[in-house]
């Protein structure tokens, strides 16, 4: 009876998980993988505890009871003069000790799900680059690793920092929750930290009145768009990286939205100048004329930080991309 009840309950729970994943995949709802993984840890963890404290002892007791009954019957038959006693109690015992399917798919998966949860939430999380806003540093299709503890340890789902560590520095490549839609993760380069005045005028970056020098590089050929773009080498915060510019794009910022602290920014035909408020960061893509970044949607709050990107671990279209981009 207990087996049938738990089997039905588990089927409903697994169906709920599959339904959520299916609705997320088809776009019916806006999914939250961190929440889904946390729920999976809790549910499978409950089954794992019950298996250790309740279900496994029950199966062992039933198996031992079967062995005791067999031995008692065997002893009684031997007393009656029977020497050949048939019956394979070992096979029946093994069947009783086996986990039912509903424990295989819950308690059996708990150690793996827990390991993934800890690794992804507190150590390293993989991401895939979906767009060309960070070309040439990162290419479309790059699979990258993000250090989740570099900027401090945060609780999953609610993203609250519980242990402080390093502060974001100019030049860092950082993953963060997109301020207008926090369920989306974005990746850009930090160009302004709290208190900085960042200006991008006539396609020239200035931080706190200091011109960020850029040296011309050979033109970059984008295989996706089949176009050449002007490439420059910049140095910011002790980090050296390449950026791209498109001469066909204007210097002014078209279509900037309303955002918190927008009064800190001044838009002109030459570009934009912003004063970064406390607890916020100004982000830009390395593909300067093909990046929707802080120039368009504003500053990134400290609470939205996910981690520091540092390594390309795979690109199936170009294995030469594997390696650090720090």
- Cα gap 108→51, rounded to integer Å: 9
Look up residue 218 and give its DSSP letter.
Answer: E
Q: What are phi and psi of 235, to 5 degrees?
A: -130, 120
Q: How far apart are CA 169 and CA 159, in angstroms?
A: 20
- Which of these is catalytic: 121, 133, 231, 291? 133
148 flagged as catalytic: no
Residue 94 tokens, joined: 């093994």
**Helix, strand, coil percentages in the chain from 3-state DSSP, rounded to 5:** 35, 30, 35
Phi-psi group of 15: left, alpha or beta (phi > 0 → left; psi -120 to 50 → alpha; rest → beta): alpha
- Judged by DSSP in three states, 232 sits in strand
DSSP string, 129-179: --SSTTTTTS-TT-EEEEESSTT-EE-TTT--EEE--PPP-TT-EEEEE-T
Q: Per the residue annotation, which of 148, 188, 203, 308 is the catalytic one?
A: 188
Task: Verify whether residue 266 is a known catalytic residue.
Answer: no
Residue 188 pairs with which residues in a beta bridge? Answer: 174
> Which residues are tagged catalytic?
133, 188
């Amino acid at each position: 009876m207990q087996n049938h009840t738990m089997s039905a309950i588990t089927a409903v729970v697994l169906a709920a998980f599959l339904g959520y994943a299916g609705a997320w995949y088809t776009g019916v709802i806006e999914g939250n993988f961190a929440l889904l993984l946390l729920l999976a840890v809790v549910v499978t963890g409950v089954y794992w505890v019950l298996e250790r404290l309740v279900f496994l002892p029950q199966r062992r007791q039933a198996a031992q009871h079967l062995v005791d009954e067999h031995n008692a019957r065997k002893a009684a038959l031997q007393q009656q003069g029977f020497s050949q006693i048939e019956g394979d109690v070992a096979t029946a015992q093994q069947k009783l000790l086996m986990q039912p399917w509903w424990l295989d798919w819950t308690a059996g998966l708990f150690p793996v799900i827990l390991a993934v949860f800890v690794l992804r939430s507190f150590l390293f999380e993989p991401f895939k680059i979906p767009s060309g806003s960070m070309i040439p540093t990162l290419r479309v299709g790059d699979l990258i690793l993000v250090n989740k503890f570099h900027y401090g340890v945060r609780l999953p789902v609610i993203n609250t920092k519980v242990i402080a560590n390093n502060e974001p520095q100019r030049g860092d490549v950082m993953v963060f929750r997109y301020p207008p839609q926090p369920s989306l993760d974005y990746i850009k380069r930090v160009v302004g930290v709290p208190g900085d005045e960042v200006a991008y005028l006539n396609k020239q970056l200035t931080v706190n009145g200091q011109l960020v020098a850029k040296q011309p590089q050979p033109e970059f050929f984008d295989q996706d768009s089949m176009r050449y773009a002007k490439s420059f080498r910049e140095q910011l915060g002790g980090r050296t990286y390449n950026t791209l510019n498109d001469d066909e794009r204007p210097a002014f910022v078209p279509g900037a939205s309303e955002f918190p602290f927008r009064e800190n920014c001044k838009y002109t035909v030459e570009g934009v100048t912003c004063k970064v408020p406390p607890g916020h960061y100004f982000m830009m893509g390395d593909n300067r004329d093909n990046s929707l970044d802080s120039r368009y949607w504003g500053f990134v709050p400290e609470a939205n930080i996910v981690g520091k990107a540092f390594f390309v671990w795979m690109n199936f279209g170009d294995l030469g991309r594997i390696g650090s981009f720090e």
